[in-house]
């Protein structure tokens, strides 16, 4: 299988690390893939880091990677706004400092990062001061998300010409021991509910995530493998784009989940069945060392 691909698109959380812990053996696998002449790209729905922050995190864990190999949602959203939305005007950004940096890097002006300045102040909420240059609301992971931010997004989106773009729809971020915390999908759902419209989303399973990598590096989809831990976002993207797909069982989805999709016979669910699965990415080691 590895001989039939030139490019490997790697999902991060649940595949090569869990939070700040590398999955044992994953740096060796990635470095050997590169040594064997494969191009390796890191594709994550997480919008809280810039490409540089990811490259630094990868280097600290022992992976060979450069900024250009990383496709996180802070960067991909900036590309989406430029290339797909053909953005004009400013962005009202519900998101992180990293998102602000990636947007600014490509010349997109934004407002909104950090705690809302009038949160908690008793005032006429339907008439909060708005920036007349804002033409798009962008929603990513925001630890300062608040009622006031939700309200402000709604006031911008009351203008039917104002676009709504979300980084990704992951609703829960799984942690060790069966624990979980709310993901960006929860924040996005709140904004969509208030504004009574659906956002365009950038991250997996949207085709754009793959297109972003493919257009920059001239990838042939028939010679690409995606290695991921989640069926409903990642495997779906891989099958929609005609990539080979490999599920690792170190993250969200299980073999039983994949079997349930397979047995459903439902065309949308069959697209969530991986071509291959392994317990951990480390299982690729013998094939690469041999
Ligand atoms: N979004 C956030 C904010 C996260 O923290 C994570 C995982 O840590 C994700 C999305 C999912 O990331 P990935 O696509 O690498 O699994
Ligand atoms: Ca993942």
Which of 144, 172, 201 terminates a domain? The answer is: 201
User: Beta strands 180-182 and 172-174: pairing type?
Assistant: antiparallel
The predicted pLDDT at position 121 comes to 73
* Judgement on whether residues 82 and 196 belong to the same structural domain of the protein: yes
* Judgement on whether residues 221 and 263 belong to the same structural domain of the protein: yes
Is 170 marked active-site?
no
Is 13 marked active-site?
yes
* Judgement on whether residues 171 and 142 belong to the same structural domain of the protein: yes
The predicted pLDDT at position 119 comes to 73
Task: Look at the chain and report how many structural domains it folds into.
Answer: 2
Mean pLDDT by 10 residues, the chain (290 residues): 97 95 97 97 98 98 96 98 94 98 97 90 87 98 97 98 97 89 98 98 97 97 98 96 98 96 93 98 94
Say whether 225 sits in a helix, a strand or coil.
strand
The interface pTM score, or ipTM, of the predicted complex is 0.98
Query: Rounded to an integer, what is the distance from CA 234 to the centroid of its chain?
Result: 10
Whichever domain contains 100, its CATH number is 3.40.50.1000
* Residue 11 annotated as lining a ligand binding site: yes
**Best residue among 21, 73, 183 to mutate for probing ligand 1, ranked by most atoms within 8 Å of CB:** 183
Q: Has residue 56 been placed in a domain? A: no
Backbone angles phi, psi at 3, to 5 degrees: -65, -25
Q: Has residue 51 been placed in a domain? A: no
The predicted pLDDT at position 36 comes to 96
Distance 41 CA to ligand 1 centre (A): 16
The predicted pLDDT at position 215 comes to 97
Which of 163, 178, 201 terminates a domain? The answer is: 201
Q: If we measure between CA atoms, which residue out of 209, 271, 268 comes closest to residue 245?
A: 271
Neighbours of 35 (CB within 10 A): 10
Dist CA 84 CA 81 (whole Å): 6
**Best residue among 76, 170, 232, 281 to mutate for probing ligand 1, ranked by most atoms within 8 Å of CB:** 170
Catalytic residue among 13, 116, 170, 232: 13
Which of 201, 232, 262 terminates a domain? The answer is: 201
Identify the domain containing residue 268 by its residue range: 2-45+205-289
Q: Has residue 63 been placed in a domain? A: no
Protein residue closest via CA to atom 1 of ligand 1: 46
260 burial via Cβ count (<10 Å: 0-12, 13-18, 19+): middle
User: Beta strands 110-111 and 90-94: pairing type?
Assistant: parallel
Distance 122 CA to ligand 1 centre (A): 35
* Judgement on whether residues 81 and 195 belong to the same structural domain of the protein: yes
The predicted pLDDT at position 122 comes to 75
């Amino acid at each position: 299988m590895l001989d039939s691909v030139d490019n490997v698109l790697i999902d991060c959380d649940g595949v090569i690390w869990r939070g700040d812990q590398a999955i044992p053996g994953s740096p060796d696998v990635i470095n050997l893939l590169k040594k064997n002449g494969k191009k390796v790209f890191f594709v994550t729905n997480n919008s809280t880091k810039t490409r540089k922050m990811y490259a630094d995190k990868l280097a600290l864990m022992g992976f060979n990677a450069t900024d250009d190999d990383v496709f996180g949602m802070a960067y991909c959203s900036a590309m989406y706004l430029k290339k797909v939305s053909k953005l004009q005007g400013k962005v009202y950004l519900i998101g992180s400092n990293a998102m602000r940096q990636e947007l600014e890097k490509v010349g997109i002006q934004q407002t909104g990062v950090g705690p809302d300045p009038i949160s908690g102040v008793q005032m006429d909420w339907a008439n909060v001061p708005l920036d007349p240059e804002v033409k798009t609301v962008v929603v990513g992971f925001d630890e300062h998300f608040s009622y006031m931010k939700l309200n402000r997004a709604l006031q911008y989106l009351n203008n039917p010409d104002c676009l709504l773009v979300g980084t990704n729809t992951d609703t829960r971020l799984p942690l060790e021991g069966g624990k979980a915390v709310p993901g960006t999908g929860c924040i996005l759902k709140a904004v969509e509910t208030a504004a009574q419209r659906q956002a365009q989303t950038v991250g997996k399973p949207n085709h754009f995530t793959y297109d972003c990598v493919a257009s920059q590096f001239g990838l042939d989809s028939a010679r690409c493998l995606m290695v991921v831990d989640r069926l409903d976002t990642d495997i779906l993207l891989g099958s929609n784009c005609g990539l080979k797909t490999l599920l690792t069982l170190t993250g969200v989805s299980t073999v039983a989940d994949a079997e349930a999709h397979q047995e459903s016979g439902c065309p949308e669910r069959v697209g969530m069945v991986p071509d291959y699965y392994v317990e951990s990415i480390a299982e690729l080691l013998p094939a690469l060392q041999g």
